[in-house]
Chain A
Amino acid sequence: MKWLELLQVGGVTLVAAVTLVVLYSLGVRLTAIAGDAQQKSPVLVRSLAYVCFAFCAAAVLFGIYLIVPYFGK
Chain B
Amino acid sequence: MVALVIALALFFDFTNGFHDTANAMATPIATGAIKPKTAVALAAVLNLVGAFLSTEVAKTISGGLIREGSDGIHITPDIIFAGLMGAVLWNMITWLKGLPSSSSHALFGGLIGAAVVGIGFHSINFETVLQKVILPALFAPLIAGLVAYICTRLAYALTSRHDPETGDKLTQKRGGFRTGQIFTSSLVALAHGTNDAQKTMGIITLVLIAGGTQAPGSGPQFWVIAACAFAIAIGTYAGGWRIIRTMGSGLTEVKPAQGFSAETSTASAILASSHLGFALSTTQVASGSVIGSGLGRKGTSVRWGTAGKIALGWLFTLPASAIVGALTALLVSIGVVGVIIAAVVGTSAVLFMFVVSRKSHVGHHNAVEVEEAGHAVRFRKKKKSRKTTPSEDVQR
Contact = CB atoms under 8 A, between A and B. Distances in A.
B190 A28 contact: no
A21 B143 contact: no
Contacts of A51: none
A21 B264 contact: yes
Most chain B Cβ neighbours within 10 Å, of A1, A6, A20, A64: A20
B113 interface: no
A9 B150 CA distance: 16
A8 B143 CA distance: 11
Nearest to A11: B272
B340 to A, nearest CB: 40
B232 to A, nearest CB: 16
Contacts of A18: 147, 150-151, 154
A14 to B, nearest CB: 5
A28 B139 CA distance: 32
Contacts of B173: 28-29, 31-32, 35
Contact of A31 (B150, B176, B272): B176
Contacts of A1: 131, 135
Interface in B39-91: 50, 53-56
Contacts of A12: 268, 272, 276
Contacts of A68: 53-54, 194
Contacts of A56: 180
Given A13-B144, A63-B187, A2 B277 contact: yes
A5 B264 contact: no
A2 B278 contact: yes
B94 to A, nearest CB: 25
A29 B187 contact: no
Interface in A24-73: 24-29, 31-33, 35-36, 56-57, 60, 63-64, 66-70
B355 interface: no
B154 A16 contact: no
A49 B155 CA distance: 15
A17 to B, nearest CB: 4
Contacts of A31: 173, 176
Nearest to B160: A29
B7 to A, nearest CB: 28
B265 interface: yes
B176 A13 contact: no
Given A13-B265, A21-B264, A32 B161 contact: yes
A8 B364 CA distance: 38
B158 A36 contact: no
Contact of B267 (A33, A57, A63, A69): A63
Contact of B147 (A13, A60, A69): A13
A21 B272 contact: no
A67 B188 CA distance: 11
Interface string B128-153: 00010001000100011011101100
B275 interface: yes
A31 B159 CA distance: 10
A8 B268 CA distance: 12
B271 interface: yes
A20 to B, nearest CB: 5
Contact of B264 (A6, A20, A28): A20
Interface in B114-128: none
B154 A5 contact: no
A9 B53 contact: no
Contacts of B146: 10, 14
Contacts of B148: 17
Contacts of A27: 176
A5 B132 CA distance: 12
B261 A21 contact: yes
A33 B161 CA distance: 9
Contact of B158 (A5, A22, A67): A22
A10 B269 CA distance: 7
Interface in B243-300: 257, 260-261, 264-265, 267-269, 271-278, 280
Which 10 A-B residue pairings sit nearest by Cβ, starting from the closest?
A25-B158, A16-B268, A32-B173, A12-B272, A17-B268, A28-B176, A21-B151, A5-B278, A69-B56, A13-B269
6 contacts: A9-B276, A17-B264, A24-B177, A25-B158, A32-B176, A70-B53
